[in-house]
Amino acid sequence: MATAPKVTAATSWLHTCSGCHMALLDMHEQLLELLTVVDLRYSPIMDVKEIPKVDVALIEGGVGNSQNESVAKELREKAGTVIAFGSCACFGGLPGLRNLYDVKDVKDRAFVDTVTDGSGVEQHSDVLPTLFPTVRPLTEVIHVDYAIPGCPPRPDLLGAAIGAVLRGEEPVIPTKNLCSECQREQAEMHKPQREFVTKAVHALFELEEINPTKCFLEQGILCMGPATRAGCKGPCVEANFPCRGCNGPPPEALEQGGKMVDSLATILPAGALMFSEDTVGTGYRFTLPVSIIPSVMEGRGA
| Whole-number Å distance between alpha carbons of 89 and 83 | 9
* Average pLDDT of every residue of the chain: 86
The letter for the amino acid at 288 is L
CA 157 to chain centre: 15
Q: Is 251 helix (H, G, I), strand (E, B) or coil?
A: coil
Q: What pLDDT band is residue 120 in, cutting at 50, 70 and 90?
A: low
| Whole-number Å distance between alpha carbons of 229 and 247 | 6
pLDDT in tens, 137-181: 999 999 999 999 999 999 999 999 999 999 999 999 999 999 999
Could you check whether the bond before residue 226 is cis, i.e. omega within 30 degrees of 0?
A: no
Tell me which residue of 69, 215, 64 sits closest to 133, measured CA to CA. 64
Which uninterrupted H or E stretch holds 103?
helix 103-108
- Answer yes or no: are the C-beta atoms of 219 and 209 closer than 8 Å: no
pLDDT in tens, 42-80: 999 899 999 999 999 999 999 999 999 999 999 999 999
DSSP tag of 266: T
CA atoms within 13 A on the CB side of 159: 17
Residue 124: per-residue pLDDT = 64
| Whole-number Å distance between alpha carbons of 27 and 38 | 15
Residue 278: per-residue pLDDT = 74
Buried/exposed code over 140-152 (b: 16+ C-beta within 10 A; e: otherwise): ebbebebbbbbbb
Residue 56: strand pairing partners: 9, 81
Residues 6+ apart with CB under 8 A from 39: 6, 7, 8, 9
Q: What pLDDT band is residue 201 in, cutting at 50, 70 and 90?
A: very low
Tell me which residue of 166, 169, 156, 167 sits closest to 57, measured CA to CA. 166
Full set of structural domains in the chain with CATH: 7-95+127-166 (3.40.50.700), 178-297 (no CATH)
| Whole-number Å distance between alpha carbons of 290 and 172 | 22
pLDDT in tens, 238-290: 999 999 999 999 998 878 988 887 877 766 654 455 455 677 888 899 999 99
